[in-house]
Structure 1
Amino acid sequence: MRLKDKVAVITGAGSGIGRKTAILFAEHGAKVTAADVNLETAEETCSMIKEQGGQCIAVKTDVSNARDIQEMLNTTLNAFGKLDILYNNAGIPMIAQSIEDVTEELFDRIMDVNVKGVFLGCKYAVPIFKMQGTGGVIISTASSAVSRPRPGQNIYAASKGTIVTLTRALAAELAEHQIRVAAINPVAVDTPMFYGFIGDRDEQEARASFKSTIPLGRMAQPEDIAYAALYLASDEASLVTGAIMDVDGGRGV
């Protein structure tokens, strides 16, 4: 019960990393807000948690919309009375393409979700943490693309690089308030989002291509990332802030 009596908000909780993390956090005693742009999948995550005796509420949230973020946090406070952990996990992928083929619309969409979504989460969670006066934890999902970008993943890599820099800046800024800030750099994860990276490529060929660059020889599973988030969110990591945790099978070495 590493998160007993903690309250956690997890974005992108309707599938993949977010769903696995929500379930794992609940197993360790957290009360969870499962936020996702797809309310139905968020509700499915909550149903899984409740079947195991946990507490969860589902909230429809477009992380690029400030009102949605505020509503997500207000709903959490109304339901559970406090906020301890914000996991900015929601993100969107990018099919590899040369920079000259990237449209302004695609650029804006990636930055809106992957960067603005994290900014808004932090912007509106931090005042709550400060008001409570007991610290807090902010975790964000970045990517191994920050240090080892693949060809054609230009804007996606840039968006995740921004998260890493923002994480370090906020760690320095918020330390006096005992608010810890960290990020996780996953390698390619075996989730539905993976298909958003490969487009119309042959799936087996794409998997083989990704695996060939990972020294440990496999893609990440959602639980690999979830357990990293569990550690960062727990009191066991009480001296950890500004950390960027690579969960990449050695790809960044």
Structure 2
Amino acid sequence: MEEGAQVIVAEFKNESGSAATKELGCDFQKCDVSKRSNWEALLEYVDTRYGKLDSVINNAGTSYRNKATIEVTENKFDLVFAVNVKAIYHSYNVLVPYIKKQGTGESFVTIGSVAAVNPTLGLTVVNASKAAVMLASKSLALEYATDQIRFNNVLLTFAPGTVVTRQNRFLGLPEDRKEFESNLPQPMGRGCTPRDIANACCYLCSDEAVFITGINLPVDGARLI
């Protein structure tokens, strides 16, 4: 928003989506990203209201409490891959043809995780989903390079946020920010903030990054070093 973008938040829950858009002053459309029909409806709205699509940030994700892989149910496996992987598949398949017709290139950014490179113990299915998306983005970067459509990944440290997120509480992490950050393994000694993530995405979607595609950009406070 600060960079002049017209932003649409596509969120599954009306309450959280409306709250975010009210705070940010942007647009909101309810969307279950795991369903193709919802992506098609979102694209129709974008085309009708704005007439073009410049950038896509795939940020939806789900997880579960750390556990032995043999304890992960098939339903949980399906949910993780539906949200973390199949949603990305739908976004590409629905939106890329529209962007190709525009003929102006544009950018996809997937919010991934350092777990795709350095797996987190007890989250095998989640690690696998993040790795799948990471490699898919690299492959798509090659496939659509001549169309000037770029695909990049932002790799986050675990549990981003200036305050502990709902997912953090779901995973049983400390609700006190200082207590939470004191246990983080990042050399910089703090968690990743929404602004850290937004700055990376803004750069990858900007004209300054038009020759950058297929990369994994860690926003991790030196976690992967």
How would you bin the TM-score normalised by the shorter chain?
over 0.9
Higher RCO (CA-CA < 8 Å; seq separation 6+): 1
User: Corresponding residue for 1:59?
Assistant: 29
Counterpart selection for 1:194 from 133, 158, 168: 168
User: Are 1:86 and 2:70 matched, yes or no?
Assistant: no
Counterpart selection for 2:21 from 41, 46, 61: 46
What's the CA shift for 1:206?
Answer: 7.7
User: Corresponding residue for 1:13?
Assistant: none
Assess if the C-alpha contact under 8 Å between 1:145 and 1:160 holds in 2.
yes
Partner Cα separation in structure 1 for residue 27 and residue 221 of structure 2:
33
- Where in structure 2 are the equivalents of 1:222-237 lying within 5 Å? 222-237=194-209
TM-score by length of 1: 0.82
* Count of aligned pairs: 220
Assess if the C-alpha contact under 8 Å between 1:99 and 1:154 holds in 2.
yes
Counterpart selection for 2:215 from 234, 240, 243: 243
What's the CA shift for 1:47?
Answer: 2.3
Unaligned runs of 5+ in 2: none
TM-score by length of 2: 0.92
Deviations 1:38-68 (Å, cap 9, x if unpaired)?
Answer: 1232222222333xxxxx3211001001101
RMSD: 1.7
- Where in structure 2 are the equivalents of 1:114-133 lying within 5 Å? 114-133=84-103
Deviations 1:48-98 (Å, cap 9, x if unpaired)?
Answer: 333xxxxx3211001001101111111111111110101111111221000
Structure 1 residue runs of 4+, over 6 Å off? Answer: none
Unaligned runs of 5+ in 1: 1-25, 51-55
| Code of the aligned partner of 1:235 | D
User: Corresponding residue for 1:138?
Assistant: 108
* 2:211 alignment partner, SS class: coil
Assess if the C-alpha contact under 8 Å between 1:171 and 1:180 holds in 2.
yes
* 1:31 alignment partner, SS class: coil
Partner Cα separation in structure 2 for residue 70 and residue 186 of structure 1:
28
- Where in structure 2 are the equivalents of 1:146-225 lying within 5 Å? 146-188=116-158, 189-190=160-161, 191-196=165-170, 198-199=171-172, 202-203=174-175, 207=180, 210-211=183-184, 213-225=185-197
Identity of aligned pairs, percent? 34
Assess if the C-alpha contact under 8 Å between 2:182 and 2:190 holds in 1.
no
Assess if the C-alpha contact under 8 Å between 2:181 and 2:190 holds in 1.
no
